[in-house]
Amino acid sequence: MRCLECGARLERIDNEHLLQCSGLTVQEYALRHHLPLDLILHPDQLDVVPDPAAWPSGPGRPVSEPARAVLSGLGLAGRLGREGDFTVVHGEVRRLDLLLWTQARLEACGLRFMQTYHYRPDGHRVEARNTLRVPARLCDPFPLRLPDDPERFLDAVAVFLAFAGEWHADYLFLPTRDGTLGRALAHRLAETFGIRLEDLGPGWLAEGVLLRTQSPDHTWRLLNLLDRRLEELPGVLEQFAPEGPEATITKVFEFDSAHFITDHPGRCVNLHGGRYALHVRVTDRIQPATGFVMDYGELKALVKRRVIDRLDHQNLNYVTSGLAWRSSTELLATWIWEQLIDYLPGLSELVIHETASSYCRYVGPDLETFRREGPSTLLGHFADPELGRSPWRARLREQGPALKVVGEG
């Protein structure tokens, strides 16, 4: 075949040739020329098992503190694991240079870059994986811990941010599967540097915790604190800049609920049920590293956990006191907005269909306003402690037993 980069006739395209002629890996070459890997690769290039003998024999050196910082950042980001006898760091092709930067930092631990190719029978195609690996006998980073030294600690935060950080509407999100380590990191950032991260629970994650800067001010402070480190990390600063094209994504959910409307002159005063459709729209910058505003799967997991699981097959009037009086689409939208805005600062609109012909559009406060002003007073009437303390109630008390008398002569 002919190399589409240099025109040379070759028996096969491999990384040995491509790195010489263009600096690309096979996967990048395939993407640049929009070719399936299945066509480029020879079957014996698939499922190559790394040979531990390619690494030096004998025990490894203890992990140095700078390397430990990088490894704990990778662990927080969910990029570090064990595969058989190997310690493995998982990368991705869009940010290969970031993975290679990491390799340079971990060279003394023996981590080497590998791009391997695998036929996935369920996907019916060849996929590439980009990893750093080393036999675990040479480098065993577990159990992970945060470095004590403040400079090394910030190295770990920068690596965590580089691999896992997401920018959404001036807030930084840091998802981690290691909840214990994540909370320890948030604690250290607050105690030592005055930078506050909120613990949002699992959010859209299957496990672990989602951390988010408390306000845009804390976003800037964190980025400024890590400035020098982030500059050094290839492709990372573009991740955390407000500039760039925006898009709006929408995910539609359906749920079945019963409800009634108190003091309503029509039939809605009766308990009745229906199928609701909820449209959740998020307007935000398209993230350069993912090509997404937000992964639809993550949006689905979040809305399901925070909203749908609490409303589906329930009587809306008994879900929360805010809806007990009137579970109208308007108040329901207000309540749903408040369940989501902490996680979706780019939330731009909710639409709730009660029937095909009756629906409500709602735009609530942005996250900064919501944090400053708190939940809507529209939902708070019956939860207000002042209810029952008015002078009118006092009069009612004075009225005494008469209140109880109905129809007595």
- Given a contact cutoff of 8 angstroms between Cβ atoms, the answer to whether 70 and 153 are in contact is no
State how far the Cα of 20 lies from the Cα of 30, in Å rounded to an integer: 16
| Tokens, residue 64 | 């140095």
* Interaction of residue 114 with Zn ion, rule CB under 5 A: no
Tell me which of 6, 264, 313, 373 is the catalytic residue: 313
Closest contact distance (angstroms) between CB of 17 and Zn ion is 6
Which residue is associated with the tokens 């749920």?
255
Stretch near Zn ion under the rule CB under 5 A, chosen from 21-29, 149-157, 230-238, 374-382? 21-29
308: left (phi over 0), alpha (psi -120 to 50) or beta: alpha
User: % helix / strand / coil in the chain, to the nearest 5?
Assistant: 40, 20, 35
Residue selected from 21, 100, 268, 351 as contacting Zn ion according to rule CB under 5 A: 21
Stretch near Zn ion under the rule CB under 5 A, chosen from 5-13, 150-158, 219-227, 392-400? 5-13
- Given a contact cutoff of 8 angstroms between Cβ atoms, the answer to whether 157 and 69 are in contact is no
Nearest residue (CB) to Zn ion, 5 versus 140 = 5
Cα 202 from chain centroid? 9
Nearest residue (CB) to Zn ion, 21 versus 268 = 21
State how far the Cα of 105 lies from the Cα of 100, in Å rounded to an integer: 9
State how far the Cα of 368 lies from the Cα of 341, in Å rounded to an integer: 10
Stretch near Zn ion under the rule CB under 5 A, chosen from 6-14, 90-98, 247-255, 283-291? 6-14
Stretch near Zn ion under the rule CB under 5 A, chosen from 18-26, 154-162, 339-347, 359-367? 18-26
Nearest residue (CB) to Zn ion, 26 versus 134 = 26
354 is catalytic: yes
Task: Output the CA–CA distances (angstroms, integers) from residue 370 to 60, 202, 275, 377, in the order listed.
Answer: 52, 21, 29, 12
* Interaction of residue 24 with Zn ion, rule CB under 5 A: no
313 is catalytic: yes
* Interaction of residue 184 with Zn ion, rule CB under 5 A: no
Tell me which of 268, 279, 349, 381 is the catalytic residue: 268
Residue selected from 6, 19, 394, 396 as contacting Zn ion according to rule CB under 5 A: 6
* Interaction of residue 14 with Zn ion, rule CB under 5 A: no
Catalytic residues: 268, 313, 354
